[in-house]
């Protein structure tokens, strides 16, 4: 029975072509979360059944556009952020910004910043707020600064320039 439920959820959530299907997907994810026990979390973190996919990180302390999708798992306690090893630490314990950019030859364009773990769902002119985004890490990438959107030919621009 559980297999049928998970398979049904997988099919519905992979075909998010309407807001009704998105709502159904979120409902199914919530039910799935209720079927499983709480996970054990590391220091300075706690388990949530429905939290935000986006957490502040040492190398990205300002949250960018984040889809409102229910995430089941461990998140940092209040006053803590993720370090490069995905451990929750106080912001003042973050290592100094790496000079890896110069060593790796990474130079970002105007309105971009370098990150060791970027989002696979960067806001674009065509899709400023992705409906659904994986937690996939895109390593060593330049991404648009907060408030800017990726344009196919112009790089990172304000929404008014899209």
Distance, CA of 74 to CA of 100 (rounded, Å) = 29
Q: Tell me which H or E stretch contains 66.
A: none
Q: Sign of torsion, CA 152 142 84 52?
A: negative
Q: Identify the DSSP state of 97.
A: P
Provide the pLDDT confidence category of residue 44 given band limits of 50, 70 and 90. Answer: very high
**Residue, of 158 and 132, whose pLDDT is higher:** 158
Q: Tell me which H or E stretch contains 47.
A: strand 45-51
Provide the pLDDT confidence category of residue 156 given band limits of 50, 70 and 90. Answer: very high
**Model confidence over 51-109: pLDDT tens digits?**
887 788 887 766 666 667 777 888 999 999 988 788 999 988 887 654 444 445 578 89
The correct CATH number of 37-161 out of 3.40.50.300, 2.10.25.10, 3.40.430.10, 1.10.8.60 is 2.10.25.10
Whether pTM > 0.75 for this model: the answer is no
* Chain centre to alpha carbon of residue 158: 21
Provide the pLDDT confidence category of residue 29 given band limits of 50, 70 and 90. Answer: low
Q: Identify the DSSP state of 57.
A: B
Degrees, nearest 5: CA angle 98-135-59: 20
| 149 three-class SS | strand
Pairing of strands 88-89, 112-119: unpaired
Average pLDDT (149-162) is 92
């Amino acid at each position: 029975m559980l297999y049928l439920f998970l398979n049904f959820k997988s099919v519905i959530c992979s075909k998010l072509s309407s807001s009704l299907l998105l709502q159904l997907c979120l409902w199914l994810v919530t039910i799935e979360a209720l079927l499983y026990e709480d996970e054990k979390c590391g220091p300075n973190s706690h388990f949530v059944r429905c939290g935000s996919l986006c957490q502040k990180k040492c190398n990205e302390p300002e949250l960018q556009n984040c889809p409102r999708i229910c995430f089941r798992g461990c998140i940092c306690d209040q006053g803590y952020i993720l370090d490069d090893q995905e451990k929750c630490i106080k912001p003042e314990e973050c290592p100094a910004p790496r000079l890896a950019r110069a060593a790796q030859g990474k130079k970002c364009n105007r309105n971009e910043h370098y990150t060791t773990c970027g989002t696979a769902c960067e806001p674009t002119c065509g899709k400023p707020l992705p409906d659904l985004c994986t937690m996939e890490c895109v390593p060593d990438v330049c991404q648009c600064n907060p408030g800017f959107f990726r344009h196919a030919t112009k790089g990172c621009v304000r929404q008014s320039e899209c």
